[in-house]
């Protein structure tokens, strides 16, 4: 796993040829139990790295299309699975907990429900006020600037814009770690505002 902008954050990735970008998963190392977000399959190297860093206590899945290898990793690590409450009726795996809008999943990790994406209850996560972690709706196809899912995959463009606006209003966002594409380690708030302005 690759270290990120903070010593307690790591990432592992998988290149997707069809979309020509990387898919990412996040590990947040915490003394009270590590958190995985949208976990892809782990290589033997990454499995060992995760074990050395303390395993996993919690897995957060941002939407029903990002289940990835959650079931297997939860079985191996014993982690509890948290999924979006609005997708409970059709979620592809059983979750231990269902996450609602503005819920603190663990101390320092707040969920924001997004609307207008391809799934009805997608979550964005804000880690300790300044790091935004996104699933599908907000991505970074080209390094340095955020974009949305292709319009044909959105269920409601106006609601998607409202979701971006809500996140752009958060005052302290510095970093945006997207599920799909390039991470932005600085000026994340400005990038969200630029994305919002692109709708006008």
Tokens 């603190």 locate to: 104
24-34 pLDDT tens trace: 999 999 999 99
* d(C-alpha 194, C-alpha 189), whole Å: 9
Asked if 175 and 186 count as a contact pair (C-beta separation under 8 A), the reply is yes
* d(C-alpha 92, C-alpha 35), whole Å: 20
* pLDDT of amino acid 199: 83
N-term to C-term CA, the chain? 39
139-170 pLDDT tens trace: 999 999 999 999 999 999 999 999 999 999 99
Asked if 22 and 16 count as a contact pair (C-beta separation under 8 A), the reply is yes
Using the Cα atoms of residue 92, residue 126, residue 10 and residue 190 in order, give the sign of their dihedral: positive
Domain residue ranges in the chain: 2-197
Average pLDDT score, the chain: 96
Confidence class of residue 200 from pLDDT cuts 50, 70 and 90? low
Confidence class of residue 19 from pLDDT cuts 50, 70 and 90? confident
* d(C-alpha 1, C-alpha 42), whole Å: 9
61-80 pLDDT tens trace: 999 999 999 999 999 999 99
* pLDDT of amino acid 197: 92
Domain 2-197, CATH class in plain words: alpha beta
SS3 for 24? strand
């Amino acid at each position: 796993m690759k270290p990120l902008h903070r010593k307690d954050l790591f990432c592992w990735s998988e290149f997707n040829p069809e979309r020509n970008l990387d898919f990412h998963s996040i590990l947040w190392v915490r003394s009270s139990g590590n958190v995985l977000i949208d976990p892809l399959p782990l290589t033997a190297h990454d499995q060992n790295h995760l074990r050395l860093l303390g395993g996993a206590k919690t897995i957060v899945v941002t939407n029903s299309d990002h289940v990835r290898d959650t079931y297997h990793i939860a079985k191996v690590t014993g982690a509890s699975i948290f999924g979006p409450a609005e997708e409970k009726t059709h979620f592809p795996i059983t979750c231990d907990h269902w996450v609602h809008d503005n819920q603190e999943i663990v101390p320092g990790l707040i969920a924001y429900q997004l609307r207008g994406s391809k799934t009805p209850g997608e979550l964005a996560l804000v880690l300790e006020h300044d790091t935004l972690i996104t699933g599908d709706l907000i991505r970074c196809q080209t390094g340095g600037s955020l974009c949305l899912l292709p319009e044909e995959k959105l269920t409601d463009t106006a609601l998607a814009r409202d979701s971006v606006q809500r996140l752009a209003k958060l005052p302290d966002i510095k970093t945006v770690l997207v599920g799909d594409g390039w991470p932005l380690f600085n000026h994340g708030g400005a990038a969200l505002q630029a994305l919002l302005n692109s709708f006008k």
